[in-house]
Amino acid sequence: MLSILTFLPVVGAIAVLLAPGDSLKKGLALGATIATFVVSLLLLPGWQEIPDMQFVERYAWMPDLNIYYHLGVDGISLWLVLLTTLLMPIAVAFSNQHIKQNLGGYLALMLLMETAVLGVFLALDLVLFYVFWEFSLIPMAFLIGKWGSQNRIYAAVKFFLYTLAGSALMLVAILALYFNAGTFDLLELQEAGLPPGLQQLAFLAFALAFAIKVPLFPFHTWLPDAHVEAPTAGSVILAGVLLKLGTYGFLRFALPLFPVAVADYASLISFLAIIGILYGALVALAQRDLKSLVAYSSVAHMGFVVLGIFALNEQGISGAVLQMVNHGLSTGALFLMVGMLYERRHTRLLKDYGGLWASVPIFSFFFLVVAMSSAGLPGLNGFIGEFTILLGTYKSSPFFAVLGTAGVILAAWYLLHAFRQVAQGELTNPANFKGRLPDLNWAEIGQLLPIVLLFFAIGLAPNFFLDKINPSVAALEVVKAPVVGDEWLVDSSYQPPLTSGQSSLTTIR
Amino acid sequence: MDTALLFDNAVDNAVVLLPEIILAVGVMVLMMVDIGRRGQNGSQLLAGLSVVILLLGVGASVMIWGRAPVEYLDGAVSDGFALSVRLVILIAGVLGVLLSRNKLPAIERQGGAFYSLHLLAVIGMMLMGTATNLIVLFIALEIFSLALYILSGFYRENAHSIEAAMKYFLLGAFASTFFVYGCALLYGAGGSSKYTQIHETLATGGGNPSLVLPGIALLLVGFGFKVSLVPFHMWTPDVYQGAPTPVTAFMSVGTKAAAFAGFFRLMMTALPSYHDQWAMPLAILAVLTMTVGNLTALRQSSVKRMLAYSGIAHAGNILIALVAGTAAASSAAAFYLFAYAFMNIGAFAVTIALDRQFGNENDVEQSRLAGAAERFPVLAAAMAIFMLSLSGIPPLAGFFGKFLVFKAAVEAGWAWLVVIGVLNSAISAYYYLRIVVAMYFQQPEEIGDEKEPLFVPASRPSVFVVVVSVLAVVVIGLQPGLWADLLRGLGQ
């Protein structure tokens, strides 16, 4: 089942390359992504709310070397898989409308991308994981470099080299783990436990790779370039899914494998996350280009996710998992809407817009909802994620929680600022007048609607989602038996995180 | 051992050298055929014959695969490692012959000489991998070196080709001298030219140990020259660039495989007791080779020179396996060379095809690649795959080559060397990526170039080489276990 899910897009990619005619290619690509989404939905009926891996598949890949083809999904990866399979058809549908040049290659790369990302989310063997992880770079670099805007080559090369260099040391760390425990299997490594000295080094190597991917301040400089230059669907996938690979890596590999090192570095990484939240928000506030505003907002939002993970308690981590999904949905939708605007007016500068509510009300309404979701308005999904994260953070360090809350306020500020600049005020630019600027058509509404409905679903019934996440999070070693690390930068009110038995606010009731 | 017994033994065990014997007979047949058709132009027939002979060699290797290793006349052995290296060299040989079918006037005119030298080089290279005796080792080295000196100067009208041959010959002759001196000193140290004998004598405290390290140092110069380790690499870019591209493709893989095979066997069977002394100098050489190779490759504008420096860097990676010096490391090196054969020759095959399109200059400037993906979509896609594989991006063959070598090195306790290795891989990604960027992301300079109607603008044999290489790179990458199983290291 998981193999079908992972490799269905590859089949689609081959079909797209072989198919004659653009309309058939479009249909095949959309069909393949929708089929993948349907397969991923089949995970839900059989889902058990247990901490273990489900739908596990394990075959020998290189038996001599102890390398296995080992896939599995648990509460941490489930929603990320579904997020990927949901965003893909939307991104493909958008591209089908707007990509003119070399469509077949474009769609095939998108589909390969989907396989790579799903592979990362599902792989339970470190070598298999590394293969998918590295492979995910290629389609994205091509998408940016070939179909991006003016500065695309620079952005593509920077993206590729930055992330490649970051993960080089991870390979050495993987080998070191292997020779310590005699296996590349994540679950076996987890049981084996690693000596603290090795944990420190290996954690640093893994963390570098993940921090660049997230991106965590100060490793974020590739992100604005890549986002701004990427084609719209590329940005949607980059922000919606690819950034999650980094935070997912922290959760899936760093936390279970290196609990001692994680406890030692938790304060430092939380501190970097806080800087990222505040810095990303302030820079976003200063942007004149709508797309770079959204790009910097990603730095801030992903900072929240990292903050939640390194709170090292159930609320923080569960919130972080949910917030990954939220960010994927809301930022994906924001990029999508920026793209829709851009295709109409061929400008992304805020000053070229204003007063759009009068001319394109449907667009403006959707933009408002998406912006509010991103800003964390109660009732929508963003609120649940951020609130749970801040709750967890407060437990481990009130100081960070206070700073994080400031980030929430800043987020509301820059998003409202963006909304005001775009949709409100005087309709002055003649190019934006009613009739000149078409409103959203049905196809575009169709692309946005599933995302917006999910905003409300997660916002109003978070327990449906959290109940599937929680068992796996509660089973994490760092949550079960918190290790108190050094308390660098933590003020006197520091309290060790509560154990899961004591926590009562895991789910929002 | 009395003479009669020795003779019986030689006849009985001749089968272990069957591939070499077949090729040697083949060379003679080839020359006869060439004499028979004296004066005729075109060398289709000779090329076809060479391919058949090489494939017979492959068949013979497969036939004796899995036999218990037998030593032949105290001079050569046919164990798993020798067979693995043989396979790599034969593949490089076949692909090299196919690549020469590109209407290259010099080769058409003198096909007999070209293809017999080509096969001779293959024989010498294969013998390198089997040699267990300093004398056989040296003879093997000279057989393939002499053949390659001539082959690299085969474009007699081309000044660069002649310069390449001259440079290669003069420097190579120097390197051989060092090599012979090294052999002599080792012989003096161990009292025998036989590896196992040298090892026994030295391990039991006999012989003349003070000669060992000078001997190793001199041999290192010889080997270092052949596999182009820094600082013995200076000839590589000039020769790679000047030599006919099919020859470059063949020798870039063949020489590396042969010389490394000889190097591995010598160090690991004759001098394992001195591993502590030679490992560290080799590790330093590996660091130098990788770093200098990669940094210099960053600044190349010609595709062939870039590939030459990339080859130097890859030699550094393989040297890491020798530094580790374990059985697993030698089989990792065999896997690495196996993968390298396809990705590197594939890259040269694309270069040849593009060169034919751009005016047969025996080289391609990187700036001419701009927008190549629009004009030659299949060639560009193949080149992109080779470049990604060379830079070690999974799931392609090159990644697992590096992975296995690094794994063996970490296992042997050389983690710091591996760290430098992976960082170098990251550097190398930049220049490989640059080719991809030029082909795919940049616009061609001269606009108005009508779209080439051709699927691929290359001769059929070259297309075959490209397709086979792409398939191999992808299949080896997806199913590495299969090949890692097949390719054996020393003592496995």
Inter-CA distances, A171 with A128, A184, A464, A476, Å: 11, 11, 37, 24
Chain B interface residues facing chain A, Cβ-Cβ under 8 Å?
388, 393-395, 399, 403-404, 406-407, 410-411, 415, 418-419, 422-423, 425-426, 429-430, 433, 437, 440-442, 480-481, 484-485
On the question of pLDDT at A493 being above 50, the answer is: no
Q: What CA–CA distance (Å, rounded) separates B229 from B284?
A: 11
> Each residue of A408-441: b (16+ CB within 10 Å) or e?
bebbbebbebbbebbbbeebebeebeeeebeebe
Kindly give, in sequence order, each residue whose CB lies less than 8 Å from that of residue B371, ignoring residues fewer than 6 positions away.
Answer: B439, B442, B443, B444
Beta bridge partners of A54: A73
Task: Quote the pLDDT of residue A489.
Answer: 38
On the question of pLDDT at B322 being above 90, the answer is: yes
Distance from CA of A117 to the nearest CA of B (A): 14
**Of A82, A64, A65, nearest in space to A73 by CA:** A82
Three-state DSSP string of B445-484: CCCCCCCCCCCCCCCHHHHHHHHHHHHHHHHHHHCHHHHH
Beta bridge partners of A59: A69
Nearest to A171 among B422, B430, B437 (CB): B422
Identity of the highest mean pLDDT range in A313-322, A352-361, B217-226: B217-226
Q: What CA–CA distance (Å, rounded) separates A476 from A503?
A: 15
Contacts of B440 in chain A (CB under 8 A): 142, 145-146
**Of B138, B143, B145, nearest in space to B124 by CA:** B143
Helix axes A290-309, A314-345, angle to 10 degrees: 170
Tally of domains within chain B:
1
- CB count within 10 Å of CB B159 equals 9
Question: What tens digit of pLDDT does each residue of B330-353 get?
Answer: 999 999 999 999 999 999 999 988
Q: What rounded mean pLDDT belongs to chain A?
A: 84
Helix axes B460-478, B377-390, angle to 10 degrees: 40
Inter-CA distances, A453 with A79, A363, A459, B183, Å: 16, 16, 10, 78
Distance from CA of B394 to the nearest CA of A (A): 5
Question: What tens digit of pLDDT does each residue of B427-453 get?
Answer: 998 899 889 888 888 877 655 455 554
User: Comparing A16-25, A415-424, A495-504, B461-470, which segment has the lowest mean pLDDT?
Assistant: A495-504
Show the domain range for B146.
3-486
Determine phi and psi for B341, rounding to 5 degrees: -55, -50
User: Comparing A164-168, A324-328, B102-106, B234-238, which segment has the lowest mean pLDDT?
Assistant: B102-106
The two tokens of residue A382 are 């963003």
Task: Quote the pLDDT of residue B446.
Answer: 57
Q: Across the interface, do A171 and B403 touch by the CB < 8 Å criterion?
A: yes
Q: What CA–CA distance (Å, rounded) separates A262 from A206?
A: 11
**Strand, coil or helix: B365:** strand
User: For residue B198, with 0-12 CB atoms within 10 Å meaning exposed, 13-18 middle and 19 or more buried, which class applies?
Assistant: buried
Question: What tens digit of pLDDT does each residue of B465-486 get?
Answer: 999 999 999 999 888 877 877 7
On the question of pLDDT at B371 being above 50, the answer is: yes
Residue type for position B348: F
The structural domains of chain A, with segments of one domain joined by +, span 1-255, 258-489
- Mean of the pLDDT values across residues B144-166? 90
Three-state DSSP string of A3-36: HHHHHHHHHHHHHHHHCCCHHHHHHHHHHHHHHH
Given pLDDT bands bounded at 50, 70 and 90, which one contains residue B16? Answer: confident
Q: Are A70 and A125 in contact (CB under 8 A)?
A: yes
- Mean of the pLDDT values across residues A479-498? 48
Task: Quote the pLDDT of residue B456.
Answer: 52
Beta bridge partners of B71: B77
Inter-CA distances, B52 with B82, B93, B143, B255, Å: 22, 11, 21, 22
**Of A136, A120, A109, A133, nearest in space to A17 by CA:** A109
User: Comparing A419-433, B193-207, B274-288, which segment has the lowest mean pLDDT?
Assistant: A419-433
The two tokens of residue B251 are 């020798």
On the question of pLDDT at A509 being above 70, the answer is: no
The two tokens of residue B467 are 């397709």
Q: What CA–CA distance (Å, rounded) separates A119 from A135?
A: 10
User: For residue A218, with 0-12 CB atoms within 10 Å meaning exposed, 13-18 middle and 19 or more buried, which class applies?
Assistant: exposed
Instruction: Provide the CB-side half-sphere exposure for A33 (13 A, CA).
Output: 28
Q: Across the interface, do B440 and A145 touch by the CB < 8 Å criterion?
A: yes
On the question of pLDDT at A505 being above 70, the answer is: no
Q: What CA–CA distance (Å, rounded) separates B368 from A458?
A: 53
Question: What tens digit of pLDDT does each residue of B241-259 get?
Answer: 999 999 999 999 999 999 9
For B229, which DSSP code? Answer: -
For A359, which DSSP code? Answer: H
Pairing outcome for strands A54-62 and B71-72:
unpaired
* pTM of the shown model: 0.89
- Mean of the pLDDT values across residues A127-139? 90
Q: What CA–CA distance (Å, rounded) separates A255 from A261?
A: 9
Residue B492 domain-assigned (yes or no): no
Distance from CA of B411 to the nearest CA of A (A): 6
- Mean of the pLDDT values across residues A139-146? 87
Question: What tens digit of pLDDT does each residue of B378-411 get?
Answer: 888 899 999 999 998 888 999 999 999 999 999 8
Best mutation target among B432, B441, B473 (most A Cβ atoms within 10 Å) is: B441
For B366, which DSSP code? Answer: G
Distance from CA of A77 to the nearest CA of B (A): 23
Q: What CA–CA distance (Å, rounded) separates B56 from B94?
A: 11
- CB count within 10 Å of CB B4 equals 8
Task: Quote the pLDDT of residue A501.
Answer: 42
The two tokens of residue B200 are 């026994």
Contacts of A141 in chain B (CB under 8 A): 433
Q: Could you report the predicted ipTM of this complex, rounded to two decimals?
A: 0.87
The two tokens of residue A456 are 């409300």
- Mean of the pLDDT values across residues B260-288? 92
Question: What tens digit of pLDDT does each residue of B35-57 get?
Answer: 887 767 678 888 999 999 999 99
User: For residue A453, with 0-12 CB atoms within 10 Å meaning exposed, 13-18 middle and 19 or more buried, which class applies?
Assistant: exposed
Cis peptide before B395 (omega within 30 of 0): yes
Among chain B residues, CA nearest to A61: B481
Q: What percent of chain A has pLDDT over 90?
A: 10
Best mutation target among B400, B403, B431, B443 (most A Cβ atoms within 10 Å) is: B403
**Strand, coil or helix: B41:** coil
Inter-CA distances, B183 with A377, B319, B472, Å: 80, 21, 38
Best mutation target among B418, B437, B475 (most A Cβ atoms within 10 Å) is: B437
On the question of pLDDT at A494 being above 70, the answer is: no
Torsion of CA B4, B6, B12, B17, to 10 degrees: -140
The two tokens of residue A383 are 């609120």
Compute the Cα dihedral for B323, B329, B332, B338 and give only its sign.
positive
Q: Helix H segments across B37-133? A: 44-63, 80-99, 105-109, 111-130
Determine phi and psi for A68, rounding to 5 degrees: -120, 150
State the Cα angle at A321 between A319 and A323, rounded to 5°.
65
Task: Quote the pLDDT of residue A492.
Answer: 41
Q: What CA–CA distance (Å, rounded) separates A39 from A53?
A: 18
**Could you tell me which residue, A45 or A193, shows the higher pLDDT?**
A45
Q: What rounded mean pLDDT belongs to chain B?
A: 87
Q: Helix H segments across A19-136? A: 22-41, 75-98, 103-122, 126-135
Most distant CA atoms of chain B, gap in Å: 78
If you search the block for the tokens 């749970």, which residue do you land on? A388
Q: What percent of chain B has pLDDT over 70?
A: 94
Q: What CA–CA distance (Å, rounded) separates B59 from A365?
A: 72
Nearest to A176 among B410, B429, B437 (CB): B410
On the question of pLDDT at A115 being above 50, the answer is: yes
